[in-house]
Structure 1
Amino acid sequence: MELRQLKYFVGVAEELHFGKAALRLCVSQPALSQQIKLLEHEIGVDLFVGIRRTQQHRTELTEAGTVFLVEARRILQLSERAVENARRIGLQQTTVRLGVYKTMIRERIMEIVKLFASHVPETELKIVEFPTFLAVQDALLDETIELGATLLPLQHPELAAASFRAGTLKVLLAQDHPLAARPVLTLDELKGEKWIEINKSLHTVFEEIELMCRRAGFSRESFIVQEVSSIELLGGLVGLGIGIAFVPTFFDADRVPGVVAKALANADGTAFNGVAINQAVAYKTRKVAPALQALVGLVSGL
């Protein structure tokens, strides 16, 4: 029994006229009649009343045909649903959901979007924003997303990642700040400064920075004058002279008007590396497909 025969049968059963059914199904009337006869032969019963089939091609269902019509419609509906599901899944394979965290530098997100658009234009990239980098990792775990821009370390052994930006901290100051002329700054020089900071609930390395400052002999907490939700807004407030801020070394300060970025050094003059900030693209290891692996490779080359 073929699905085509079921479609022909349902068409005749609904029209109760072989000629009209043939037009509706875009098939010749002799071919339609032949397929109905083959179907009846396979089932072993008449589905249409035989006498009426010869009178101007009008017909009616037998009792068996009426029962069979219900099941035939159900089979066709199930087959259509199967096709739709297969198409939907096939389309999803060309759609990748990329999770990003709220304080991620927007320029970095745009870099990834442009990279995908230029190298894999057939893949649709959907950006999904999460409050923190840890929420991105959780979303990977429960398969809400396929790829996630996050910070290392990973919190779940089921995840893997490829780093695409690694750095530490530098200091962002207004251009007219007294320390702006210094080529390099030490933590000791930052005591008593007012600070602009990312909201603690969104911050990626707040505790590490506080510990670093305490070891240098001061605490910033009582000197934080403004908390913001994005690094772009943080840069804007620093430019207005409201306070200074720590930003990742890979943050491009040249695109923020009115600010300068200064490297940090240890008290002995050696390069500062007290707080590591590593951006990475992560994925769930057991769900990674060749296409996703290719995308991870692209991002890790940024």
Structure 2
Amino acid sequence: MELRQLRYFVGVADELHFGRAAEKLFVSQPALSQQIHLLEDEIGVELFGRAKRTQMRKVELTEAGTVFLIEARKILQLAEKAIETARRIGIQQKIIKLGVYRMMLRSRVVEILRVFAQNFPDIEIKLVELPTFLAVQDALFDEIIDLGITMLPLKYNQLTETPFKTGYMKVMLSESHPLASEDSLKLDQLKNEKWIEINKSIHTIFEDIERMCKNAGFNRESFIVQEVSSIELLGGLVSLGIGIAFVPSFYDASRVQGVVCKELINPDGSPFKEVAIKQAICYKTATSTPTIQALTSLVKDM
């Protein structure tokens, strides 16, 4: 259960109208309805009467919804109080160094900075760009940065993680590749391709990818023509047509000239989600402050 879902629920309960609530919450009506359904599924009861909503286009709270509304308001008030308390206690920490890795979507970085600025306008966020997600973890462990966006799993037990984004695999090809004009790709289309790959020693999901390919009927091992230690070099070799590569769906390929990225789909056309890649915001547990924890909670709800 997320604070965002509670805010959405309270918004609909206040308006008793999904359209008006969506406008006030600055979210699309389908997205709002989906989050309410997810909340109801998690709780195991209906919060709004679906029969009346379907038959009479009328939004009403169920008995369970009425009780839950009281508790949801309390939770949101406590969350707001916690943020305010953290602001007061941690206000002396005026500068927070946030580490990000280069393959992150720029729009995601900007969104995080915007949310931080809105909620903590007196705190200066210094962005530290690091070459890889593992370098972010190293910088946290060495106390070079206060917060970091990385990919799981963590290599240090001394770090605390809060997952907030899950991505899946897509395929990077050169613009001149024969498959570059396809809208999306199936795994069996890739069985005769040459591959560029991140070095196994720093690749968190290499074995998962190999298992995925073997399940699709091919083995990449003899077709990996180059292993590299950075995503920049991987993109550069792909742009030269030396091979293709798997990259996370949240990888920002707009920085790499001469490449395109294609979504992976199953044989039936549905999105391929066999291998998941999780992003998380992390901090070093021993050096955590109320401000760092409050900032972390903001990213969790995004």
TM-score norm. by structure 2 comes to: 0.57
- Cross-structure match for 2:247: 247
AA partner of residue 126 (structure 2):
L
Deviation at 1:242, TM superposition (A): 1.6
- Cross-structure match for 2:196: 196
- Cross-structure match for 1:161: 161
**Structure 1: 5+ residue runs without aligned partners?**
1-89
- Cross-structure match for 1:173: 173
Q: Is the 8 A contact 1:131 1:202 kept in 2?
A: no
Deviation at 1:154, TM superposition (A): 4.5
Do the aligned partners of residues 230 and 100 (structure 1) sit closer, same or farther apart at CA in structure 2, a change above 3 Å counting?
same
Give the RMSD, CA atoms, in angstroms: 3.5
Do the aligned partners of residues 233 and 139 (structure 1) sit closer, same or farther apart at CA in structure 2, a change above 3 Å counting?
closer
**1:201 aligns to what SS in structure 2?**
helix
**Structure 2: 5+ residue runs without aligned partners?**
1-89
Alignment map for 1:3-152 (pairs within 5 Å): 93-100=93-100, 104-105=103-104, 107=106, 111=110, 114-115=113-114, 118=117, 120=121, 122-123=123-124, 125=126, 127=128, 129=130, 133=134, 136-137=136-137, 140=140, 145-152=145-152
- Cross-structure match for 1:257: 257
In structure 2, distance between residues paired with 1:233 and 1:118: 33
Deviation at 1:238, TM superposition (A): 1.6
In structure 2, distance between residues paired with 1:254 and 1:138: 27
AA partner of residue 147 (structure 1):
L
Q: Is the 8 A contact 1:99 1:130 kept in 2?
A: no
Percent of matched pairs sharing the same residue: 54
Deviation at 1:301, TM superposition (A): 5.8
Do the aligned partners of residues 131 and 105 (structure 1) sit closer, same or farther apart at CA in structure 2, a change above 3 Å counting?
closer
In structure 1, distance between residues paired with 2:234 and 2:106: 15
Do the aligned partners of residues 192 and 250 (structure 1) sit closer, same or farther apart at CA in structure 2, a change above 3 Å counting?
same
Q: Deviations over 1:182-230 (max 9, x none)?
A: 2221111101201112222222211211121122222222212222232
- Cross-structure match for 1:22: none
Deviation at 1:175, TM superposition (A): 1.9
Do the aligned partners of residues 227 and 157 (structure 1) sit closer, same or farther apart at CA in structure 2, a change above 3 Å counting?
closer
- Cross-structure match for 1:278: 278
AA partner of residue 237 (structure 2):
L
Do the aligned partners of residues 124 and 167 (structure 1) sit closer, same or farther apart at CA in structure 2, a change above 3 Å counting?
closer
Larger Rg: 1
Q: Quick check: 1:214 aligned with 2:208?
A: no
How many residue pairs get matched? 211
Q: Deviations over 1:9-37 (max 9, x none)?
A: xxxxxxxxxxxxxxxxxxxxxxxxxxxxx
- Cross-structure match for 1:14: none
Q: Which moved more, 1:233-242 or 1:110-119?
A: 110-119
